[in-house]
Structure 1
Amino acid sequence: MFGSSDFDVNKKDGFEYLHISSETSNKQNLIFLHGMFGGLSNYDPLLKRIQGYTIFVPKIPIYEIKARKISISRLTEWLRSFCETLDIKNPILLGNSMGGHLALDYAQKYADDVSALVLTGSSGLLEKDFGSTFPRRKDRDFIRKQANLTFYEDLIDDTVMDEIMTVVKSPSKLTKLLALTRDTHKYHMEKFLPKIDHEVLLVWGKQDEITPPEVAYMFEEKLANTQLHWIDKCGHAPMMEHPEKFAAILQDFLRQLETKSNSKTSQYL
């Protein structure tokens, strides 16, 4: 969720992001996209276990965009600008929760500029949330219980709770958060999924309460080229709860993509 990243934060032209460089210049670019209640630190456990790739983790400006303009489509255009500014070519997009929704929208709008997708607990079809009004937004115990729906185990410490409470008690931030929540429900991706023909890796927690297992099966059915992997005793953020297992699944998928790419290249030589 929140918290400071253990990696250096880069800034360029208004963008904030983590950048892990590969020593091999021809390695695939990856972009990791956090969820609505997420931040740069969400991917720290995974970044510490993935090597040999160039990885970008941008801070998605949920609270910087005006409430009346905040939407998945608006964030897609922001992501487009991010890629253009940093000259990121044909990335693999990995998205958790809302970040998965954003990755899907980007892929269907800029299909030729995406290599593959990795979705974990993605919204876009069916998802639960904290609610549409936060009627008990000053009740710390209630908010903590709701936030813990994200995980199989209790991973919400006092530092994270302090940051969450700062958001839900801020009228401005809460308004933007609720506006984006409403848009994720309204902007349903079902009709777009058959048009997405990229290779898609689905990594799902078996005990995900926010985008439950049925959602993973829906994505598997409606997307053309998918492989679905489950992680047991895991909730809505597998890359945080089980980074070792997630890393192993991801690296195997990346090796498959590299093998296919090399095979296609050899056909033309």
Structure 2
Amino acid sequence: MFGTSDFEVYESNGYEYLHISSDEQDSQNLVFLHGMFGGLSNYDPLLKEIQGYNIFVPKIPIYEISARKISINRLTEWLHSFCEEIKVENPIFLGNSMGGHLALDYARQYPDNVSALVLTGSSGLLEMDFGSTFPRRKDRNFIRKQANLTFYEDLIDDAAMEEIMAVVKSPSKLTSLLAITRDTHAYNMEKYLPQITQDVLLVWGKQDEITPPEVADMFLEKLPNAELHWIDKCGHAPMMEHPEKFAAFLEDFLIKLRNKSKSKKTKTL
């Protein structure tokens, strides 16, 4: 959602994605994963702040998979197929909201194929329950108010509202959306977190109302190798609300990973 991306959209064998390539040798591979109501444009503000990385942003097929089959596990299978199709090896996954949940499940199922994780407003432990139906789905003001819970400031413009209303008014799309919403609530990852030993960067909005601050603290406690950074006056999508601050945390983390990798190679030699 939230408009079209300013970057070129690529297609390959049914997969739709952004690809920002780097000319630098040994550049890190990053895969950015959007949330339930997200889309390719969600990472545009962050992409404009960083460079020197090989970045992929896939469009996650939330509305293309039938409501009976869609789940985090099913999306993990899809993501694995995407990485194989695009030939992305050992990426660092950055996931927002449901995208974070997907990154965690990928790390659980394919631990040898994940270099590190970056989670921001991730589901997988606790998140606000919007219910299993949209009884007021034709009430534009009500839907706008609900959508704005994502942000500290009001970032929902008329174009974004048109996209959101198109989803909630479509029986098939709404059914798929509610199905994946139910699955994210049902699929609690707490017991799996100690098994995810990759380095994890947590970047959280202090005013996140959907996955509130205590959720970030829980991730920090349960993940063996995690670090947590806060952004003030920020809601559920820090990479959209404060891309400069988010980029600073991200690049510091990526430098640490690069130095750590070089140190391991030196010791091996």
TM-score class, shorter-chain normalisation, is over 0.9
Structure 1 match to 2:24: 24
**Counterpart residue number, 2:4:** 4
Q: Structure 1 residue 247 and structure 2 residue 247: aligned? A: yes
SS in 2 for 1:66: coil
Shift in Å, 1:2: 2.2
Residue 159 in 1 paired to residue 159 in 2? yes
Encode CA deviations 1:223-256: one digit per residue, 9 max, x unaligned: 0000000000000000000000000000000000
- Separation in structure 1 between the aligned mates of residue 268 and residue 112 of structure 2, nearest angstrom: 20
Alpha-carbon separation, structure 2, partners of 1:118 and 1:102:
12
Q: Higher mean Cα deviation, 17-26 or 147-156?
A: 17-26
Match of 1:228 in 2: 228
**CA positional deviation for 1:129:** 4.2
Identical pairs, percent = 78
Aligned residue in 1 for 2:260 = 260
Displacement of 1:131 in angstroms is 2.4
TM-align CA RMSD: 0.6
- Indicate the SS of the match to 2:87: coil
In the alignment, is residue 46 of structure 1 matched against residue 54 of structure 2? no
In structure 2, what is the Cα distance between the partners aligned to 1:186 and 1:265? Answer: 41
2:85 corresponds to 1:85: yes
Is residue 2:55 matched to residue 1:60?
no
Q: Which residue of 2 aligns with 1:207?
A: 207
Letter in 2 for 1:185: H
Q: Tell me how far apart the structure 1 counterparts of residues 68 and 24 of structure 2 sit (CA, whole Å).
A: 43
In 1: Cα distance, 2:25 partner to 2:38 partner: 30
Does 16-25 or 225-234 show the bigger shift?
A: 16-25
Q: Which residue of 2 aligns with 1:116?
A: 116
Distance 1:225 1:130 in 2: 31
Q: Which residue of 1 aligns with 2:76?
A: 76
Q: Which aligned runs of 4 or more in structure 1 are off by greater than 2 angstroms?
A: none
- Residue type of the alignment partner of 2:259: T
- Alignment partners' CA distance in 1, 2:239 and 2:78: 24
The residue type equivalent to 1:19 in the other structure is H
Please list, as runs of the form range in 1=range in 2, the aligned pairs for 1:116-135 lying within 5 A after superposition.
Answer: 116-135=116-135
Partners of 1:79 and 1:267 in 2: how far apart? 33
**What is the aligned residue count?**
269
Residue by residue over 1:100-152, the C-alpha shift from the partner in whole angstroms, topping out at 9 and shown as x without a partner, is 00000000100000000000000000001432101100000000000000000
2:173 counterpart residue number: 173
TM-score (ref. length: structure 1): 0.99
